[in-house]
Each structure stands twice: as C-alpha cells, then as structure tokens.
Structure 1
Amino acid sequence: MAQVHVTTREGEVRTLEAEGGSPLMEVLRDASTGVEGTCGGMCSCGTCHVYVVDEWVARLPERSEDEAMMLEALEDFVELRPGSRLACQIVLDDDTSGITVEIAPAA
C-alpha cells in the first residue's frame, strides 16, 4: 500500500492509502478531495491539477510533453508552480509512497 498526504482546497489535511500501481488521480477522486479526473486520466482536461511539495518534485519522473502542454493551457486560469502536475500522470508505488500534494484551485 502507498500513502498519499493531501491538503484539500478547504485546507483539510488527509492521509490516504492506495494500492500500488494506482494513478494518483483515481485515489484523490475516489476519496472526494475535489479532484474530478473528467478525462479519465488521458491528460486532456486539467481537472486533476495538484501542487507537489518541493521535496517530492525531483523524485518524480519528468513531465511528458502532453502533460506540460496541458498545464500550460491552464496557466491563464490558475496559478502554476514548479510542483504543478497532473495527478493522472503520477503512479503510486513504493517509490512514491508518502508523496505530499495540495489540490490546486479549480480552473
């Protein structure tokens, strides 16, 4: 099981448990944290935008070109930070267990 520490848009801090191999977006969506995941994880809607805390940014794989383009499209609507990621592109496993994220504002 992987752990996720999440701060919701309302400031509530929660710790979630997830099966290894689960996309972070699904875990956050299913736990009613405010993440919608409208596109089902296809990296095309931006409704799973999260801010990954600084100490985790370098531990994750680089953004794909598609993810970077989707985040760039959100820039006119919400603040982007160095830790901005789409949760659908982060897979939870032993390496990502303990990740800490904040749910970004809705676009």
Structure 2
Amino acid sequence: MEAEGSAGTSLLELGQAAGMPLEGTCEGQMACSTCHVIVAQEWFAQLPPASEDEEDMLDLAPGVCATSRLSCQIDLVDELDGLTVRIPPTSHDMQRG
C-alpha cells in the first residue's frame, strides 16, 4: 500500500489516515509499541537515530529486527520521499501487559 503525507506528519499519523493497521495505543507518546514498523534496509540509515527511550520501548515489542522503529517517532521530511516500511504481523500493547 502506498500513502502520501505532508512534511511534519508522523509516519504513524500517515499510516492511520491511510487505513493501515497501526494501532498507536498511546497516541504517539512512545508509551507502547503498537506502531512498530520495520524500515527497509536501504532507508534505515536515512532516519535520525532512535532515542534511548524509543530503543527501550522497542526492546519490549514482538518481532523486532535491526531496522525496527516506532512509526510515531518518524517525522516525514522531503528526504524520506519513497520511504518503505513493513508492518509486523503482531503487535503487543505494553500498557495492557
């Protein structure tokens, strides 16, 4: 599925608006892992590094790999035009245990 968004929009917001299965239980507050995405290898280095808090939350997400990120922490910019991500088949809301 392809979606287009405006600069400054988070990838989570874009995905939800496009009907993609990104729950985002915490509404982008980095308190869950239900917006976990896997960034295509060729795009991963183009993203700003994940914060320590984001890495801590990803440690709790199922199906994490080396290019995993929380979509609420990826803001769209012109340089990310064409960004490719994959949504893992499972997610787990860390707020619900």
Are positions 1:79 and 2:66 aligned together? no
Which residue number in structure 1 is paired with residue 91 of structure 2?
106
Q: Which protein has the bigger strand share?
A: 1
- Residue deviations 1:26-85, cap 9 Å, x none? 1111211100111111111111000000001111011101100000022xxx22111100
Scaled by the length of structure 2, what TM-score is found?
A: 0.89
SS in structure 1 at match of 2:60: helix
In 2, the alpha carbon distance for the partners of 1:67 and 1:24 equals 15
In 2, the alpha carbon distance for the partners of 1:83 and 1:36 equals 20
In 2, the alpha carbon distance for the partners of 1:79 and 1:38 equals 18
Indicate which of 58, 75, 80 corresponds to 1:96: 80
- C-alpha displacement at 1:20, in angstroms? 1.0
In 1, the alpha carbon distance for the partners of 2:5 and 2:57 equals 25
Q: What 5-or-longer segments of structure 1 have no aligned partner?
A: 1-13
Aligned residues: 91
Q: What is the identity, as a one-letter code, of the residue corresponding to 1:87?
A: S
In 2, the alpha carbon distance for the partners of 1:79 and 1:36 equals 16
Indicate which of 30, 47, 70 corresponds to 2:34: 47
**Pairing of 1:4-83 with structure 2 (within 5 A):** 14-74=1-61, 78-83=62-67
Runs of 4+ in 1 over 4 A off after TM superposition: none
Scaled by the length of structure 1, what TM-score is found?
A: 0.81
Q: What 5-or-longer segments of structure 2 have no aligned partner?
A: 93-97
